[in-house]
Structures are given as C-alpha cells and as structure tokens.
Amino acid sequence: MNWLIFLKYVLVMALVTYLVRVVPYICMKKEVKSKFFKSFLAYVPYTVLAAMTIPSILFATDNIWSAAIGLIVGIIVAFFERGLLVVAVSSCAAVLVVELLQRFVF
C-alpha cells in the first residue's frame, strides 16, 4: 500500500486507540469507593473477553468443526489452569489435528 495513504490510516488509528486507553486512566484520580462500581469493574475483563470469543472463535479457522474442537480443547486445558501459552498452543494444535484428519481420513 502507498505509504502516504497508509500513514494517514495508521496514525489516526493509533491516536484513537491511545486516547481511549489513556484518557480514563489519567482522569480517575480518586479511589472508587462504591461497591456497585467496583463490582462492575471487576466483572468487565471477563465479560469483554467472553463476548469477544464466542461465537467469533467458530469462524476463525477453515471450518466450524475444527474451530469448535479448538474451543473445547482450549476450555479443558484452561480449566486445569495451564496458563496463556499452553492453552493457546493446545487450541491451535487441536485445530491442526482436526483439519489434518478431515483432509486425509474423512
């Protein structure tokens, strides 16, 4: 892509992303006391990531079946608290195995 056009896009993108992250960070000076707001904030990371993962993960690979197995394997490995990397790699490996089976066996 032409660098001039590209830079226009990427700088605008980076600026918006930066402001979205930093403005609330520097504006919150006082400690939040409200139990309601604290609870809300505590739930945010989990609800965001859950909504981002399901159902999008099902469309992240070649076909829905390999993705579904990748999801299930990821959940099982995560259940045993194996950490980010192990979960991600197991999930990828499961997809790979399923797609190899689909191609060469079924």
Partner 1 sequence: MNSFKRGFFDGLPIGLGYLAVSFSFGILAVKSGLSAWQATLISMLNVTSAGQFAGLTIMISGGSLLEIIISQFVINLRYSLMSISMSQHIDKSMTLPKKLFFGEFHTDEIFAVGMGHKEKLGSKYFWGVIIAPYFGWALGTFLGGVCGEILPAIITSALGVALYGMFIAIVVPPMKHSWKITIVVFIAIAMSLAFKYVPFINKISSGFAIIICAVVASLLGAIFFPVEDKEENKA
**Residues 47-76 within binding reach of partner 1 (CB under 8 A):** 47-57, 60-62, 66-67, 70-71, 74-75
Cβ nearer to partner 1, comparing 3 with 106: 3
Question: Cβ 99 to partner 1, closest distance in Å?
Answer: 5
The answer to whether the CB of 62 falls within 8 A of the CB of 97 is: no
| Cis amide bond preceding 45, omega within 30 | no
With CB under 8 A as the contact rule, the residue among 92, 101, 105, 106 that binds partner 1 is 92
**Measured from the CB of residue 106, what is the shortest distance to partner 1 in angstroms?**
15
**Integer CA distances (angstroms), 63 to 14, 68, 102, 106, in order:** 32, 9, 10, 14
Is there binding between residue 100 and partner 1 (CB under 8 A)? yes
- Least separation, in Å, of the C-beta of 89 and partner 1? 7
Torsion-angle region of 28 (φ positive above 0: left; ψ -120 to 50: alpha; else: beta): beta
